[in-house]
Structure 1
Amino acid sequence: MDLAHEAIDGLLTDYLYGDDRALDSLLAAGPASLRRLLAIRAGRAEPGWDMAEIVRRDRDDYRRPLEAQIHLARAFPDTFFDEVAEDPAQESALMETLEYIKDPRALPFLERQLRTRSPEYRRRALRGLAENGSADHTEAVAACLADPETRSEAVDTLARLGDVRAVGPLLREHLADDSSFARCAGAALDQVEQRIGGPLVPPVWRELGPAVFTAQAVMGVPWCVAEVLVEPGQTVRGGELMAVLENDAICQELIADWPGTVTEVRIAVDDEVPEGAVLLVVQSRRRIG
């Protein structure tokens, strides 16, 4: 199906204004939809939409265009990579999409952008390598742990790559302090060790005592228990989701800060948790070696 630019612009406008049904027609139109969207986003063609209207409707002027690009790039990957090969100016559009696409053709772009001076592009490269990388990238990713601009993404990527060479760098970050980043490094270390069959050497632990999770009302509205995923006697890992609370406005997740053993689950009558009530108690411990 070969649609004129005007017809594709109309479908893109409908999708960006919130009509998800337009996506099927864009996909049916074939690679021309992707080429047109890339041309618009590169500034080579005038869009058929008003960005102010997108913000008014969606309150996010980037989400819908990027969503459209991801859907179309997944459907027509050959066109996507061919367009970038023909026009280097398209590389910025490519980089914001590669963390959502698994394709070996992504690797040269990701490897190059990992060395760029732009922190945002380095972060995007790391997120893309989490999807497309391999153990061959472990050392380059581990080097990003020293950069405050990229270390969070580096931890996540090392967890996904699951290479034994990540154990040492992640353990050093975990042992450095008791910050939230150290906890994230510990959670990533746990994922890597699970993949490689366990710790390389028996870990050394320090008991931290009970971690008590209480419910504090938000704007006076009490919490209700949406889901409890643990029970007394259960072992949890650092960063593991243990329970979900909700009220009229928002949800809250209870996450284990450190690994440990659940010793108590206390929920009020009818699953309502009054302010200050104890929901969970975890006898936690921290790895110190």
Structure 2
Amino acid sequence: MDLMPAEIDGLLTNYVYRDDGALDDLIAAGPASLHRLLAILAGRAEPGWDMAEITRHDRDDYRRPGSLQILLAKAFPDALFDALADDPSLESVLARETFSCVEDARTLPFLERQLRSRSPEYRRRALRGLAENGTADHTEAVLACLADPEVRPDALATLARLGDARAVEPLLRAHTADDSPLARLAGLALDQVEQRLGGPPAPPVWRELGPVAFTAETVGLGVPWNVAEVLVEPGQTVRGGELMATLSNDAIDQELITDWPGTVTEVRITVGDEVPEAAIVLVVRSRRRIG
């Protein structure tokens, strides 16, 4: 639908002040909504809201202009990249998440630039965007990020998505380096890369860890857990990081996820069961990749 700038401004203002229903009308108005918002954020048009107030709230979780920009960029990617081609300075007013949220190969030059940023947050966002839009051409740059502790978890996740054989050896070294959570993440990434490649290039070497018991974690409520979901059975092989079951009670849900790959040897629960806190519900004979 065709709207006047003043009408678009009204919808933008309504959304910024928490009227989620305005989003449908903004999208119906087409790319003009995105162009108008970018003009406001670039200081070329007056917003219908108090930007100082919005900025103060942005320190918490009130990030409506930025989130709206991302939603409109995802809805109108052609308009976004056309605007950037006409005026490269607009890049500086885009929310740092924008390029990591838009699934479009045209984000790649911007993501590559963000990956070289001094800001860890920009580098993390770039890695997340490369996980969606990157190619094997980005493997070496992402592997270099494994040396940066501020972005290493995101680099591991991105390597898992890129699925390049060049990542196998570095991921194996990271996985076997120690027993840290990052080493486990490296193992998950390694497993995903090898799956994409059709299997490991050489037979893996394993160390048996023995049986690992999974319990209904104590939360001090004194109420039983309800078994919401059971996804495994005895004899089943599970991968590291695999969800095996979900328990719930009046306060929280608990997911039972494998730390290391292995074989399920016992399943003591079924859907609908009530189990007391600290009860053993699953047992897995685990093993760890060592080569």
Change (3 A) 1:229 1:213: same
Distance in structure 1 (CA, Å) of the matches to 2:203 and 2:276: 42
Q: For structure 1, which segment, 221-230 or 158-167, has the greater mean C-alpha deviation from structure 2 after superposition? A: 221-230
* Match of residue 250, structure 1, among 240, 249, 252: 252
Q: Does structure 2 retain, via aligned residues, the 8 Å contact 1:129–1:157?
A: yes
- Matches for 1:167-206 after TM superposition, within 5 Å: 167-206=168-207
1:11 aligns with 2:7: no
Number of positions where the alignment pairs a residue of Structure 1 with one of Structure 2: 286
Q: For structure 1, which segment, 177-186 or 268-277, has the greater mean C-alpha deviation from structure 2 after superposition? A: 268-277
For 2:226, the equivalent position in structure 1 comes to: 224
State the shift of 1:55 in Å. Answer: 9.5
Q: Does structure 1 retain, via aligned residues, the 8 Å contact 2:66–2:95?
A: no
* Match of residue 267, structure 1, among 250, 269, 280: 269
State the shift of 1:176 in Å. Answer: 0.6
Change (3 A) 1:258 1:42: farther
State the shift of 1:53 in Å. Answer: 8.2
Could you tell me the percent identity over the aligned residues? 71
Q: Which amino acid aligns with 1:36?
A: R
Distance in structure 1 (CA, Å) of the matches to 2:39 and 2:220: 47
For 2:134, the equivalent position in structure 1 comes to: 133
Distance in structure 2 (CA, Å) of the matches to 1:238 and 1:107: 31
Instruction: Report Cα offsets for 1:76-102 as digits up to 9, x if no partner.
Output: 112112223304243451641122212
Q: Does structure 1 retain, via aligned residues, the 8 Å contact 2:228–2:272?
A: no
- Matches for 1:87-236 after TM superposition, within 5 Å: 87-91=88-92, 93=94, 95-220=96-221, 221-236=223-238
* Match of residue 282, structure 2, among 270, 280, 283: 280
Q: Does structure 2 retain, via aligned residues, the 8 Å contact 1:17–1:54?
A: no
Structure 2 residues not aligned, in runs of 5+: none
Instruction: Report Cα offsets for 1:121-174 as digits up to 9, x if no partner.
Output: 111111111111000110110110010011111000000001111101111110
For 1:82, the equivalent position in structure 2 comes to: 82
State the shift of 1:257 in Å. Answer: 0.2
**Residue aligned with 1:279, SS:** strand
State the shift of 1:272 in Å. Answer: 1.5
Q: Does structure 1 retain, via aligned residues, the 8 Å contact 2:229–2:271?
A: no
Q: Which amino acid aligns with 1:25?
A: D
Q: Does structure 2 retain, via aligned residues, the 8 Å contact 1:54–1:60?
A: no
Distance in structure 1 (CA, Å) of the matches to 2:283 and 2:5: 60
Q: Does structure 2 retain, via aligned residues, the 8 Å contact 1:142–1:166?
A: yes
For 2:24, the equivalent position in structure 1 comes to: 24
Distance in structure 2 (CA, Å) of the matches to 1:253 and 1:285: 20
Distance in structure 2 (CA, Å) of the matches to 1:137 and 1:115: 13
Q: TM (normalized to structure 1)?
A: 0.90
Q: For structure 1, which segment, 198-207 or 115-124, has the greater mean C-alpha deviation from structure 2 after superposition? A: 115-124
State the shift of 1:251 in Å. Answer: 1.6
Instruction: Report Cα offsets for 1:236-282 as digits up to 9, x if no partner.
Output: 10111111122222222111100001111112894212111111111
Structure 1 residues not aligned, in runs of 5+: none
Change (3 A) 1:245 1:15: farther
Q: Which amino acid aligns with 2:82?
A: D
Distance in structure 1 (CA, Å) of the matches to 2:248 and 2:18: 27
Distance in structure 2 (CA, Å) of the matches to 1:248 and 1:84: 49
Q: Does structure 1 retain, via aligned residues, the 8 Å contact 2:230–2:270?
A: no
Instruction: Report Cα offsets for 1:45-93 as digits up to 9, x if no partner.
Output: 444346768999xx7212x444422321122112112223304243451
Q: For structure 1, which segment, 263-272 or 167-176, has the greater mean C-alpha deviation from structure 2 after superposition? A: 263-272
Q: TM (normalized to structure 2)?
A: 0.90
Q: Does structure 1 retain, via aligned residues, the 8 Å contact 2:227–2:270?
A: no
